[in-house]
Structure 1
Amino acid sequence: MAPEVNITDWRKGPQWFEVNRKLAVDMVADDVYYPKSKEFCRPACYVDEHYFQTVSSIQSPNLLANRSLTYVDWSRGGPHPATFGRGDVAEEFFRRISEGSTCVYNDQPSSLCFLLARKFAPSALEPLLNLTSKVFGF
């Protein structure tokens, strides 16, 4: 996609994200990056995971939070994040996500880095429900 998109400009992010009016207008008005993306972005390249994040970081990097509130485990490799099953869900799992991390939000350090986590297999439902009062307090 060069010269419009350099490899250092390439981004991958979550399918769900929030944009303000300026970012939305920039995306809709884009006639430089989208044609390149349409021509060269093929599976496993997706508009909702790559194009929006890439064009936003090129056009308006100062408007991006550059963080996610969703904990995702990419350590197992591959095109998809790890799926957490019955054996993964324990108090230690939630401790690891919610404690001992420092992240930056609006250029300020924060100890609250994640509010959500994904992906959970159906087998994780019972252990999740059993931990709600202990971990979440309800």
Structure 2
Amino acid sequence: MIEAERLLLDAALDDPANQRFVLLSDSCVPLYNFSYTYNYIMQSPRSFVDSFLDKEGRFNPDMAPVIPKDKWRKGSQWFALIRRHAEVVVADEVVFPVFRKFCKRRPPIDVKKGRLNMILQQLHNCIPDEHYLPTLLTMAGLESELERRTLTYTLWNESISKMEGKGWHPVTFGYYDATPQRMKEIKDINNVHYATENRTEWCKTNSTSVPCFLFARKFSQGAGMRLLAHGFGGYFSSSPLPDKKQ
């Protein structure tokens, strides 16, 4: 995944007119119209990268000393980068090779493998796309240049399955979930709390309070069609961003 992201950024950087680089899922929906979204992102001189301390112990000691443990970060893989930060990602020849070698997902539990599962589950578990970007930018000394939050809303649900065991999974919104009330609830979110740092991130752009999210996921095809049927004048329109602090 992170190799694909780097290739996408590399291709996008070929066009000097591209100044912002946004990664979205194919199950994302926009919460606002294009003008509002464009102004929101362009008015900020910072990148939007979810970045917080990892409490799950995914840091692999074999990554040290190239990646110090105190620089290890976690966050949503959905980002919006300024051009200079995108260039840092593409030019990286230090962190990426270490991730490719040591940051790997633990294989899911397979009942057919019997006791072999006990050995496999002892392997270190690391999800590259949740750690690479925030860790890289922290190591590059750029954390102070970030809005340490994602612009994409995701609802997480803790579940237990025979194949994957206990874990968190993004909730998929179906047709009947795509209601005006649901969309309003997402759009009204103005802060995000990070328990591992006891930090509440109040969503602002240039010191002006703004909604936290421009996009939301995961929405099924049916949910997306329902939103489209209601038109962008309903859920997605918004007044322009204020140009000064109120």
TM-score bracket for this pair, using the shorter chain length: 0.7 to 0.9
TM-score (ref. length: structure 2): 0.46
The root-mean-square deviation of aligned C-alpha atoms, in Å, is 2.8
TM-score (ref. length: structure 1): 0.75
Q: CA deviation at 1:8?
A: 6.7
Q: For residue 77 of structure 2, what is the aligned residue in structure 1?
A: 14
Evaluate the alpha carbon distance shift between residue 69 and residue 127 of structure 1 in structure 2; reply closer, same or farther with a 3 A threshold: same
Q: For residue 48 of structure 2, what is the aligned residue in structure 1?
A: none
1:134 to 205, 212, 234: 234
SS of equivalent residue, structure 2 residue 138: helix
Question: In structure 2, what is the Cα distance between the partners aligned to 1:120 and 1:131?
Answer: 15
1:26-65 counterparts in 2 under 5 A? 28-31=91-94, 33-43=95-105, 45-46=127-128, 48-59=129-140, 60-65=142-147
* Divergent runs of 4+, >6 A: none
Q: CA deviation at 1:52?
A: 1.9
Output one character per residue of 1:16-53: Cα deviation in whole Å (capped at 9) or x when no partner: 4314325623652442x33321221112523x442122
Question: In structure 2, what is the Cα distance between the partners aligned to 1:85 and 1:8?
Answer: 38
Q: For residue 203 of structure 2, what is the aligned residue in structure 1?
A: 104
Q: Residue type matched to 1:92 in 2?
A: Q
Question: In structure 1, what is the Cα distance between the partners aligned to 2:222 and 2:215?
Answer: 18
Question: Which has the larger share of strand?
Answer: 2
Q: Please, which runs of 5 or more residues in structure 1 have no aligned partner?
A: none
Answer yes or no: is the 8 Å Cα contact 1:73–1:81 preserved in 2: yes
Give percent identity, aligned residues only. Answer: 29
Q: For residue 194 of structure 2, what is the aligned residue in structure 1?
A: none
Q: CA deviation at 1:117?
A: 0.8
Question: In structure 1, what is the Cα distance between the partners aligned to 2:205 and 2:168?
Answer: 29
Question: In structure 2, what is the Cα distance between the partners aligned to 1:7 and 1:79?
Answer: 24
1:64-103 counterparts in 2 under 5 A? 64-74=146-156, 76-77=157-158, 78=167, 80-99=169-188, 101-102=190-191, 103=202
SS of equivalent residue, structure 2 residue 234: helix
Q: How many residues align?
A: 134
Structure having greater relative contact order (Cα 8 Å, sep ≥ 6): 2
Q: For residue 88 of structure 2, what is the aligned residue in structure 1?
A: 25
Evaluate the alpha carbon distance shift between residue 125 and residue 114 of structure 1 in structure 2; reply closer, same or farther with a 3 A threshold: same
Question: In structure 2, what is the Cα distance between the partners aligned to 1:134 and 1:19?
Answer: 30
Q: Residue type matched to 1:13 in 2?
A: S
Q: Please, which runs of 5 or more residues in structure 2 have no aligned partner?
A: 1-62, 106-125, 159-166, 192-201, 238-246
Answer yes or no: is the 8 Å Cα contact 2:155–2:171 preserved in 1: yes
